[in-house]
A and B are shown apart, each in its own frame.
Chain A
Amino acid sequence: MSPLLLTADEGEQSNGSSSPTVDCISQNGSGLKERNYMGLSDCSSVDCSAVSSLSEEKKNNLNLKSTELRLGLPGSPERTPELCLLNTGKLDEKPLFPLTPSKEGICSLLQKHVVSGNKRGFSDTIDGFSEVKGCVHTAGNSMIHATSDSQPPQSVGQGKFPGNSGMNVGPSSMSYGARSHILEFSGKILQEDPCATNGTSNNHKTASKNNSSSLAPKAQVVGWPPIRSFRKNSLATTPKNSPSAHFVKVSMDGAPYQRKVDLRTYSTYQELSTALEKMFSCFTIGQCGSQGALGREMLSERKLRDLLHGSDYVLTYEDKDGDWMLVGDVPWVMFFESCKRLKIMRGSDAIGLAPRAMEKTSKRI
């Protein structure tokens, strides 16, 4: 498997760090099954014994990181020590995993891998790869920044990739990964998503990989959300029985202007009449009081209720056929479907509608 990565026909660009990387490749390229992905026992040694240029770069980059405007993702400089944290079982202390068996699980996992310490740690392979990549890939590719930390992450950033950008991202994981990656990644999204707005500009949100959720017209990415097209098409063509909001005008005799209510926000007559009372109380009393507002309001509502009970006012509606009906006779859902508008009529006018029903209504409201 080692020829795989040393492919001479790819036209290597050596950057000077050859032998340790060859070592790394051959070990890794053999497709060994056992992986020490937590980079345990070897982790600390990696930091010390890694190709010196690389570790220096890391340190430099750490400083660079701390001065940069972070786009929020947990940066990789923290990651490296995190891997070592796993070493010491610090994961146990994370309060978010209260399940105790995990502790044993982790410990045994740690031990298992410590025993097999001959295998190279995961982080080793990362480092090895990052340098290898710099050697191997060609075609006008910009030099892998794993080896050139003079290149500030910003330059890798937005917009189009230098044509052949396949390998920018992965190997830089250890140091540059998070931030530069976000920019590149969002740049990619910019390329391929015609509806996307600027994915990199962002506010305090930690995410900037894609359009943030605060953007109102959601960019429609192909194949997202993952719903079968059959289902999507079916829902699109199914007519809903009622519109999503059912606004009806409410007029009141003697009021200078009308109101509108969304019937969908109510599910019983009681709710509707309470809401209407609140809305129209100021008209009957004549003042929407400012002092002692609450007390006043309650007084007004009570007065309105009394007025209604005293059959001074009745609530009526115009149905689909154009007839004026008394509110309260039919089940709510039926009323909801057939109501086109509401009217608070003076009791005297409503006598013609249904005299006995008026008493029924007054009791109900």
Chain B
Amino acid sequence: MNYFPDEVLEHVFDFLTSHRDRNAVSLVCSLWYRVERFSRQRVFIGNCYAISPEKLITRFPGLKSLTLKGKPHFADFNLVPYDWGGYVQPWIEALAKSRIGLEELRLKRMVVSDDSLELLSRSFANFKTLVLVSCEGFTTDGLAAIAANCRFLRELDLQENEIDDHSGHWLSCFPDSCTSLTSLNFACLKGEINLASLERLVARSPNLRSLRLNRAVPLETLQKILMRAPLLVDLGTGSYVHDPDSETYNKLKTTILKCKSIRNLSGFLEVAPRCLPAIFPICLNLTSLNLSYAAGIHGSELIKLIRHCAKLQRLWILDCIGDKGLEVVASTCNELQELRVFPSDPFGVGHDAVTENGLVAISIGCPKLHSLLYFCQQMTNAALITVARNCPNFIRFRLCILDPTRPDPVTMKPLDDGFGAIVQSCKLLRRLSLSGLLTDQVFLYIGMYAEQLEMLSVAFAGDSDKGMLYVLNGCKKLRKLEIRDCPFGNMALLSDVGKYETMRSLWMSSCEVTLWGCKTLAKVMPRLNVEIINEHDQMEICAEDGQRVEKMYLYRTLVGPRKDAPEFVWNL
């Protein structure tokens, strides 16, 4: 390869699209490293504290697309205090100062301020794509800045963010000259929207292929929008409520018939089930359906809808569909690859909830299933074993039994064997979440069989340090491990300290790890940041080393302890 000029190498590298491949390539030799870094345009940083923006910019001067993740995953479930960190401001500042021509920014679980958005919108002339997932800290004023200043904006995608909604004014900030939009998703906004602005915006965006509306957009507007954008591929309805006898509804029915390209459907944040028949004609073409926010559609109506969706590959739904409904899914949607069943009533007794029977039915009818997120009332070993046999292709398997330590209700045994069957059968499993009554045994199985496992989430499981040790020793590809309320202590933590440098991060909360254990680890491994989150002022600086640590988050990093940690976060 030394005989090839750099351009040839670069051209070859262009064919490598995955980050891992490109990372691997850069390790071959210094020549390849050099060629790779100058030609690299897309960079993914799974932990924004693992590296500094300056180093990133130095290494990849040609950067165009950046993906950053901030807070640990358990922040989604309120386990991380509000101002823990994960600020995007330093990144945008550094990028703005440099000569990087940033075009795409994708953020997950980060704190984004209006100032950051304003700076972003003014600093990069060619900025095209902004995707914010589970972020917080900004308002619609920040969105207004993006709308007003990014002249070539193509994608504005807001997913499940906590946004302070000041008004619908931001939509009007898109200048009349902005005609480049391909994707607009503001479903998570809680406030009102200027409907006329929205209609005009859609009208002047001929390339719009993905549009997800929020609750404030009524059915009349939806109809008008669809008239203007019959080429939509991805539609998220807003409020889907109307009188089915009205002319508006009839108009909608006719309009929808023209929308033959819709493949993804979501929304129904408010819904009158009697209006659902209007969408039946497009159901046949759907490959993705997300009804997980459609609490207004009940089991029987859901079932009726799903019977039309024979080509579904992805289905997100609420558990009010029930086991019977899942049987219908199993018989109708044989192409199904991804299923997520969310609880509609997380703290209730759950009459309508799903059980192991629904999952077994799915496994029989949908052999291509590879991704699962399943919230249920109960699960049995027998069911899991059956599922493992029927669906050996799982890449992601996340099971959440609402009562976190519930045993197999038939045998009253732990669910070790069931999960053991899953990891044994699904050789490509990359992500696993456990729940139910579990002993150390399940971790032994995971360590033995889950060779491709990269992410493991554990709660209320195990009996002793052995459990954690099995996993650390056995899962060679483990990158993220998050544990809560398990009896794992210092011995497990300290047994193989080098392992943590091969991983992105480790989270342990409400376990048996003590301050001494964390301090020891931090002392020995300088390239790890070992952070203790201490919320209740129970610990002082000279706390006893033997005291248990409530929340510990450690991650590998090249830049040492972070400087933006709040008072309650200690970096040891």
Contact = CB atoms under 8 A, between A and B. Distances in A.
B274 A218 contact: no
A10 B496 contact: no
Interface in B230-245: none
Interface in B461-491: 463-466, 469-470, 473-474, 484-485, 487-491
Nearest to A165: B548
Contact of A225 (B161, B375, B413, B545): B375
B490 A333 contact: no
Interface in A61-84: 72-74, 76, 79
B496 A166 contact: no
A234 interface: yes
A232 B299 CA distance: 20
A230 B295 contact: no
A82 B412 CA distance: 20
B483 to A, nearest CB: 13
B65 to A, nearest CB: 25
A79 B160 CA distance: 45
A242 B298 CA distance: 9
A74 B295 contact: no
A99 B389 contact: yes
Interface in B409-450: 412-414, 417, 420-421, 424-425, 433, 437, 439-441, 444, 447-449
B134 interface: yes
A94 B441 CA distance: 14
Contacts of A166: 489-490, 512-517, 546-549
B35 to A, nearest CB: 32
A226 B473 contact: no
B322 interface: no
B544 A192 contact: no
Contact of B162 (A7, A230, A334): A230
A98 B407 CA distance: 22
A7 B402 CA distance: 43
A184 B548 CA distance: 13
A229 B463 contact: no
Interface string A165-182: 111111111000110011
A221 B273 CA distance: 34
Interface string B544-572: 11111100000000000000000000000
Interface size class of A (residues with CB under 8 A): 35 or more
B513 A37 contact: no
Contact of A4 (B79, B378, B492, B494): B494
Interface in A179-197: 181-182, 184-185, 188-189, 192
B381 interface: yes
B346 A167 contact: no
A139 B274 contact: no
Contacts of B293: 231, 234-235, 238
A197 B379 CA distance: 24
Contacts of A168: 512
A246 to B, nearest CB: 11
Nearest to A228: B76
Interface string B102-136: 00000000000000000000000000000000100
A181 B406 contact: no
A27 B111 CA distance: 44
Interface in B322-337: none
Contacts of A7: 520
A224 interface: yes
Contact of B496 (A31, A129, A137, A218): A31
Given A1-B497, A173-B466, A224-B459, A139 B546 contact: yes
Contacts of A204: 412
A287 interface: no
Contacts of A222: 77-79
Contact of B463 (A76, A234, A238, A242): A76
Interface stretch (A205-213, A292-300, A355-363): A205-213
Interface stretch (B147-155, B193-201, B203-211, B264-272): B264-272
A71 B559 CA distance: 48
A226 B524 contact: no
B296 interface: yes
A298 B459 CA distance: 54
Given A167-B546, A223-B78, A189 B485 contact: yes
B186 interface: no
A31 B441 CA distance: 24
A164 interface: yes
Interface in A96-124: 96-99, 102, 105-106, 109, 122
A209 B489 CA distance: 17
B466 A126 contact: yes
A231 B489 contact: no
Contacts of A106: 448
Contacts of B421: 96-97, 99
Interface string A1-42: 100110100100000000000000000100111010110000
A35 B473 contact: yes
A88 interface: no
Given A1-B497, A170-B464, A178-B463, A227 B346 contact: yes
Contacts of B544: 139, 163-164
Contacts of B272: 241
Contacts of A133: 490-491
Given A167-B512, A210-B405, A333-B274, A125 B495 contact: yes
A60 interface: no
A212 B444 CA distance: 25
5 closest Cβ pairs, A-B complex:
A173-B464, A166-B514, A164-B546, A35-B473, A170-B465
24 contacts: A4-B497, A4-B520, A4-B524, A35-B474, A38-B444, A73-B463, A99-B421, A109-B448, A122-B469, A138-B546, A163-B544, A166-B489, A167-B491, A170-B487, A171-B491, A178-B439, A178-B464, A220-B347, A226-B457, A227-B343, A231-B160, A235-B295, A235-B346, A333-B273
Given A37-B474, A207-B437, 12 more contacts: A94-B417, A98-B389, A99-B425, A164-B547, A166-B490, A170-B464, A210-B404, A224-B459, A225-B346, A230-B162, A234-B293, A238-B270
Interface of A: 1, 4-5, 7, 10, 28, 31-33, 35, 37-38, 72-74, 76, 79, 94, 96-99, 102, 105-106, 109, 122, 125-126, 129-130, 133, 137-141, 161, 163-173, 177-178, 181-182, 184-185, 188-189, 192, 204-207, 209-213, 216, 218, 220-232, 234-235, 238-242, 244, 267, 333-334
Interface of B: 74, 76-79, 134, 160-162, 188, 269-274, 292-293, 295-296, 298, 300-301, 342-344, 346-347, 349, 351, 375, 378, 381, 385, 389, 400, 402-407, 412-414, 417, 420-421, 424-425, 433, 437, 439-441, 444, 447-449, 457, 459-460, 463-466, 469-470, 473-474, 484-485, 487-492, 494-499, 510, 512-517, 520, 524, 544-549
